[in-house]
Structure 1
C-alpha cells in the first residue's frame, strides 16, 4: 500500500511538473509581435541564471549578500532597466518560485522542535509579540493619518508584520552565523509569517463584515466557514503531508529521499493552490510535523539543500525581474511613510521588549534591523486581498509592490550587518573570498604553474596572513565558575560546541569543561547538588589571542581533539572574548587550498 502511495505521489508530482513544462513549451511556440515576446522560455531561464552567476561573483568582490546580487540581476533584466524578458513568462515560472518559497518555509518549520519551543518561548514569544504589535500599531495609525481608509490602514498594518523568510534565512545561512541574534531572527521570522497569514484572514473577515451593506447571519456564517476551511484545511494538509514524509523516509533508502521530498512538496503545493489554501501555512506545518516525528530531520533538510541552491537563485532572480521601480513614484508619500513606520515599528518593538526582559545588548540593538526584509508573503497576501476586493486592496497592493524594492535591496544588507556587528558571524566570512579581479585570477594561474614547476616560491599561506580575530566567533558566553551541575547542563543544551570555557566573575578563563567528562558525571545522582562548574573544569592550557596568526590556531588544534578553543584578550587579565571553531578553520583552509593560495598547507 505504501508503495502504491509513493507511486501515486510521484505520478502526481510528475504530472504537476510536466504540466508546467507543457505550458512553457506552449508559450515558446506562440507567435509574438516582437523578438522579445517570441523568446523561448529556456532563454529566459538561461539569462536569469547567467546574470545571477555574474552578480554572485560581483557580490563577493563588493562584499554584498548574494540575495541582493540576485535581486539586482533580475532587476536589470526586468522592465525597470533593460526589459529583455517577456513579461508573460513570469506566470509560467511561478510554480518554480512557489516551490522554492515552499521549501524555505518547510525548513523554517523544522527549526521548531517542541522541546526547543519550550526553551525559547520565554524569550522569543515576548519579543515577537512586541515587535508585531508595535509594527502593526505604527503602520496602521500612521497610514490612516496619511489619508487612507481605516480598512486599508488595518490591512497594511497586518501585512507589515510579515518578514521575507527566503531572503532572511538565505542571508543567515550564507553568513554561517550562530548566536542569540541569529537564532531569534529565525524564530521570529517563522512566528511573524505564521501570525501574518492567520491575522490576514481574521482582518479580512472584519473588513468584509464592516463594509457589508446588509449583514445577515447567513453571510456571516459563510464568511466564518470560509475562514475555518482555509486555516483548518491548511493545518490538516500540512499535518498529513508531514506525517507521510516522515513515515516514508523511515522505510525508504536515503537515495530515494530527494525524489520523495520534491514530489511530495510539489503535490502539497498543487493541492494548496487547487483548494485555495494558504500554502505558506501548509509548509510551515509540514516542517513542524517532520522535525517532531522524524529521526532524520537533518538528513531530510540536507537532501533539500542539494536543489535548494538552484531554486534559490531562480527565486530571487525571477523575483528581481518582477520589481518595478516606477511603482516607487506611484506610492508617493504613503509608500515612504510605510517604509519608515514599518522599519521603526520592528526596531523599536524589539528594542523595547529586549530592554524590559534583560536581553543582551546585541539582541536589543540588532534583532530589529535583521527583520526588515519583506517580499513573498506580503506580496502573496496583498494579491489575495486584491482578488477578493480590488476597490479596497488595489492601492494596498501597489504600496506593497512599490516598497518591496526598498525592503528587498536594503533588508539583506541590514540582516548581514546585524549578525556581523553582533559578533555572530566570523569576520573571515565577510573579508575572505576565493577569487579576486580577473587580472589577479590570471596571475594566480601562472604563479601556481610556475610554483609547481619549481620556478617560483609559492605564496605565503593564508594562515600566516590572517589573524585569529578574523576567524573567531565573538558571540560567546562562558559557564560561571560557581554554577551548579543543573546550570552546567542547561548551558550545554543551548550550545553547539563540545568544549565549554569556565570563567570567574571577571570573565577570566579558569578552566575548560569537555563533554566527555560531563557525560560521565550524569551517572552520579548527587552531582546536581554537590558539583560545581569549577570541579568539572580542567586547566585552560589551550588558549588563543586575537593578534596571533591563524597558523597558531592550526598548530593548537593539532594538539587537541577539542572542537573549539577559547580566545582571550591579549592584555592581562586575559578575559574571554570569543572562540575559534575547528570547523570554521578547516573550511577556511579548504577555501584557501582551492583558491591556490595556501600551497602545501594542511588543515587541522
Structure 2
C-alpha cells in the first residue's frame, strides 16, 4: 500500500477551505454593499463564527497561514498609505497629519493611563495598557476609505495620520515599558529603547534602500503583467526583509511607497496594481484574524475592561479634536478624526505579548484585557470609521 503523508491528506481540505473562504468573502462584500456595513466587520464576524471560538471549521493547515498573510496584507496596506504621502499632499496636509497623529497618541496615553490608575489599576499596568491603546488597525481604516469612496481633505489627512500612527505608538510603547520598569522597581533598562530604535530606524533605512531602486525600475516597466509582477515583488521583498531583520514591516512598507510616489516617473502605476490585487490577501487576512480572536475573553472583561474601552474612545476623540484645532482643521472635521481611528488589531496584541514577557506578574490582566477589547474594537471600529468618512466624504 502506498504511504500517504499527513500533509498530502491536508491539501484537498486546505484548498476546499480556502475556496470556501473566498466565496464567504464575496458574500460579505455583497452584503456590505447592500447594507452599508463595513466589509471588515462582516469578514471578522465570519472568522469568529468559523474559527475556534465558533464552529471550529477552519483547519490548522489554514490558520497557520495567518502570520504569512498578515505580513503581506499589511505591507500592501502600508505601501498604499505611503503612496498617499506625495509632496503635494504633505505640503497641503502635512501640518494636520503631524499635529493630529501626535495629539491622538499623546491624548490616548494620558487619558487611558490616568483613568485606569484612578479606578485602581497599578500605575505600571495602567501605563502599559495605555501604550497598547495607542495602536490602530491601518488595514481596517484603509478598507473603510475604499468602501466609502470618500474623497477630499479629511480622507487625505486621515490616510497620512494612519500611515505614521503606529510609528508613534511603537515609540510610546518602548518608553512606557522603560518607565513602567522604573515604577515597578525592576530597573531602568535601556534595552527596549534600543530595540525600538532598531525597529523604527532600521525600517526607514530598509525602506529607502528598497524604494530608491524600485522607483527607478517602476518608470521603465511597461504596464500590464510585468508591472503587476514588479509590484508584487516589491511588496514580498519588503515584507520578507523586514521580518528577517526584525524591523517594522508597516513602517518599511510606508517608506517604500512614499519614496516611489515621489521619485518614480510613472509613480501611480505600481499603486494601481497593488490596489487591484490586494483584496484577496486582505479578505483571507481579515477572516483568519477573526478566527484567531478569543471571543471567550469577553466574558472576563469586567469593570476595568469597560473603563479601558470608554477611556480609549474618549482619548482618541479628544486627541483628534485638539490636533485638528492646532492644525487649523475645520470645526466640522475635528470630532471625527479620533472616531475614524478606533479600529485596533494585531499591533496592539503584539505590544501586549511583549508587555507580558516584561511583566509576567501582570500577564493575565494585560493579555486578557487586550484580546477582549480588541474583539470589540475590531467589531465597532470599522463601523465608526465608515460613519466618520460618510460625515466628511466631501470635506
Structure-2-length-normalised TM-score: 0.89
Query: Residue in 2 aligned with 1:288?
Result: 258
- 1:51 equivalent in structure 2: 24
Counterpart pick for 1:186 among 159, 164, 167: 159
Map 1:363-378 → 2, pairs under 5 A: 363-378=333-348
* Aligned position for 1:251: 220
**1-structure distance, mates of 2:216, 2:362:** 45
**Aligned in 2, Cα 1:356/1:208: closer, same or farther, shift over 3 Å?**
closer
User: Within the alignment, does 1:319 sit opposite 2:314 as a pair?
Assistant: no
**Alpha-carbon distance change, 268 to 394 in structure 1, aligned in 2, over 3 angstroms:** farther
Separation in structure 1 between the aligned mates of residue 74 and residue 358 of structure 2, nearest angstrom: 23
The C-alpha deviation readout for 1:174-218, integer Å capped at 9, x for no partner, is: 111012322222122123212112222333344456657466xxx
Shift of 1:384: 3.8
User: Is the partner of 1:367 in helix, strand or coil?
Assistant: helix
Cross-structure match for 2:91: 118
The separation in 2 between residues aligned to 1:161 and 1:86, in whole angstroms, is 33
Look up the match of 1:61: 34
Q: How much does 1:155 deviate?
A: 1.8
How far apart are 1:27 and its partner, in Å?
7.0
Instruction: Give the match's secondary structure for 1:85.
Output: coil
C-alpha change, 1:387 and 1:173, in structure 2 (3 Å) is same
Determine whether 1:229 maps to 2:229: no
Query: CA shift at 1:383, angstroms?
Result: 3.1
Alignment partner for residue 309 of structure 1, among 270, 279, 282?
279
5+ long unaligned stretches in structure 1:
1-24, 32-37, 425-473, 476-604
Secondary structure of 1:177's match? coil
C-alpha distance 231-97 of structure 1, shift in aligned 2 (>3 A): closer
Cα offset, 1:223, TM superposition: 5.3
Report how far residue 237 of structure 1 moved. 1.3
SS of corresponding position for 2:247: coil
Query: In structure 2, do the counterparts of structure 1 residues 202 and 115 end up closer, same or farther at CA, with 3 Å as the change threshold?
Result: farther
**Cα distance in 2 for residues equivalent to 1:392 and 1:275:** 30
> Over residues 11-50 of structure 1, what are the superposed CA-to-partner deviations in whole Å (9 max), with x where a residue is unaligned?
xxxxxxxxxxxxxx9874479xxxxxx9832233223222
1:146 to 2:116 alignment: no
Q: Conserved in 2, the CA contact under 8 Å of 1:108 and 1:287?
A: yes
More strand by share: 1
- Contact 1:152/1:393 (8 A) holds in 2: no
Deviates more, 1:358-367 or 1:95-104: 358-367
Q: 1:355 to 1:327 in 2, by over 3 A?
A: same
Of 278, 282, 298 in structure 1, the residue corresponding to residue 268 of structure 2 is 298
Quote how far apart the aligned CAs of 1:260 are.
2.3
**Cα 1:146/1:296, change in 2 over 3 Å:** farther
Q: What is the SS of the residue equivalent to 2:45?
A: helix
2:101 corresponds in structure 1 to 128
Name whichever of 151-160 and 120-129 sits farther off: 120-129
Q: Distance in 2 between matches of 1:86 and 1:302?
A: 34
Seen in structure 2, the aligned counterparts of structure 1 residues 110 and 27 have a Cα distance that, compared at 3 Å, is farther
Residue 411 of structure 1, CA deviation = 1.3
Of the three residues 88, 92, 97, the one matched with 2:70 is 97
Greater RCO, CA 8 A, separation 6+: 2
1:158 to 115, 124, 131: 131
| Structure 2 equivalent of residue 200 of structure 1 | 173
Given that residues 80 and 257 in structure 2 are in contact (C-alpha distance below 8 angstroms), is that contact kept between their aligned partners in structure 1? yes
Tell me if structure 2 keeps the 8 A contact 1:99–1:265: yes
Asked if 1 retains the 8 angstrom alpha-carbon contact of 2:145 and 2:155, the reply is yes
| Pairs aligned (count) | 391
Runs of 4+ in 1 over 6 A off after TM superposition: none
Cα distance change, pair 355–206 in 1 and its aligned pair in 2 (3 A): closer
Match of 2:236 among 266, 287, 296: 266
Q: Secondary structure at the match of 2:29?
A: helix
Equivalent residues in 2 for 1:314-353 (5 A)? Answer: 314-353=284-323
Work out whether 1:381 is the aligned partner of 2:354. no
- Pairing partner for 1:406 from 356, 376, 384: 376
Determine the C-alpha separation between the residues in 2 that align with 1:358 and 1:240. Answer: 35
Shift of 1:124: 3.0
Between the aligned partners of 1:367 and 1:311, the Cα distance in structure 2 is 27
C-alpha distance in 2 between matches for 1:191 and 1:386: 25
Q: Does 2:91 align with 1:108?
A: no
Structure 2: which 5+ residue stretches go unaligned? none
Larger of the two Rg values belongs to structure: 1
Q: For residues 29 and 188 of structure 1, do their structure 2 counterparts lie closer, same or farther at Cα, with a shift above 3 Å needed?
A: same
**CA RMSD between the two structures:** 2.7
**Within 2, Cα distance between the matches of 1:154 and 1:96?**
31
In 1, Cα distance between the equivalents of 2:330 and 2:198? 42
For 1:73 and 1:363, how far apart are their aligned partners in 2? 33
Q: Given that residues 28 and 40 in structure 1 are in contact (C-alpha distance below 8 angstroms), is that contact kept between their aligned partners in structure 2?
A: no
CA distance in 2, matches of 1:26, 1:89: 17
* Deviations, residues 295-347 of structure 1 (Å, cap 9, x unaligned): 22211111112211111211111111122221111232222111111101111
Q: Separation in 1 of the partners of 2:341 and 2:5?
A: 40
1:471-519 deviations in Å (ceiling 9; x for gaps): xxx54xxxxxxxxxxxxxxxxxxxxxxxxxxxxxxxxxxxxxxxxxxxx
1:415 is aligned to 2:385: yes
Counterpart CA distance in 1 for 2:212 and 2:294 is 41
